[in-house]
Amino acid sequence: MAKQANLYSFSTADTLAPALRDYVITCQEAAIQRHGVFKVAVSGGSLPKVLAQALLPSDRIQWAKWEVFFADERAVPLDDADSNYGLLKTELLDKLTGEHPVVHPIETSLLDDTQELADHYEQQLVTSFASRDSVRLPIFDLLLLGCGPDGHTCSLFPGHELLRETDAWVAPIEDSPKPPPRRITLTLPVVTHAVRVAFVATGAGKKEIMKEIFEAETGLPCALVNAACGDRCSWFVDDAAVEGVSYPRRPFSL
């Protein structure tokens, strides 16, 4: 039987953070050893704050070797309160004192056309990961993702036609049920081809959807990632988020 996603549960966000840090550092070291850089994509929502808690202060983080993309981004200016780039900048990037990563924001001159915005972002991936002719899919070293209360991840929403996208690496969405409606997102094949995928989900507000993701055959986006990635996928959650979930937790170890 295929190996299943790892579920790591911690009493609080304060105990989750050091484990997430160790996990990220392990991924970073493996990636740098493999190809000299660490290519990561991150979500918005609550993730940047948890990430900052995990990664700051940043000794042992080789920021200069990081290349940071956005797993999804809202079609808004970078200084808009809804921008995932803006959030990461405020929570984490602005707090770095030494080395900085290379960060890939969206091209804001294209905000009026989400298809062009997505195509341009895909070109940024092509430039970083090699040409589309030579690789079928970009392979991120690590994706750091959130999970919405409806089981969405990135801007891949339950039942949405975007879940069937097999060609594009980055796709536009104009009808996101979570505001703002206009966004771009990595597609499911890109998500599931990452070397590692880490979800972070905290708070009692997540427990109903966690039951659905881990206990039923739902086809929810997060469950699809679990199914495709198996033990390449790890969940960092607090006890409140998985209260009553019968799926076995693992003691955290690397």
Ligand X SMILES: O=C(O)[C@H](O)[C@@H](O)[C@H](O)[C@H](O)COP(=O)(O)O
Residues that bind ligand X (CB under 6 A): 43-47, 72, 74, 84, 146-148, 152-154, 178
Q: For the CB of residue 201, give the shortest distance to ligand X in the complex, in Å.
A: 7
Nearer to ligand X, 27 or 210 (CB): 210
Residue 169 DSSP code: S
- How far apart are alpha carbons 77 and 72 in whole angstroms? 14
Q: For the CB of residue 48, give the shortest distance to ligand X in the complex, in Å.
A: 9
- How far apart are alpha carbons 163 and 128 in whole angstroms? 24
> Under DSSP, is residue 108 helix (H, G, I), strand (E, B) or coil?
helix
Enumerate the β-bridge partners of residue 145.
199
Nearer to ligand X, 37 or 40 (CB): 40
Q: For the CB of residue 171, give the shortest distance to ligand X in the complex, in Å.
A: 14
Q: 130's torsion region: left (phi>0), alpha (psi -120 to 50) or beta?
A: left
Q: For the CB of residue 98, give the shortest distance to ligand X in the complex, in Å.
A: 27
Q: For the CB of residue 34, give the shortest distance to ligand X in the complex, in Å.
A: 27
Nearer to ligand X, 157 or 252 (CB): 157
Nearer to ligand X, 46 or 124 (CB): 46
Q: Are 25 and 40 in contact (CB under 8 A)?
A: no
Q: Which residues contact residue 33 at a Cβ distance below 8 angstroms, ignoring those fewer than 6 apart?
A: none
> Under DSSP, is residue 28 helix (H, G, I), strand (E, B) or coil?
helix
Burial of 162 (0-12, 13-18, 19+ CB in 10 A): buried
> Under DSSP, is residue 51 helix (H, G, I), strand (E, B) or coil?
helix
Locate tokens 């993701």: which residue? Answer: 213
Nearer to ligand X, 62 or 124 (CB): 124
Nearer to ligand X, 37 or 117 (CB): 117
Q: For the CB of residue 203, give the shortest distance to ligand X in the complex, in Å.
A: 8
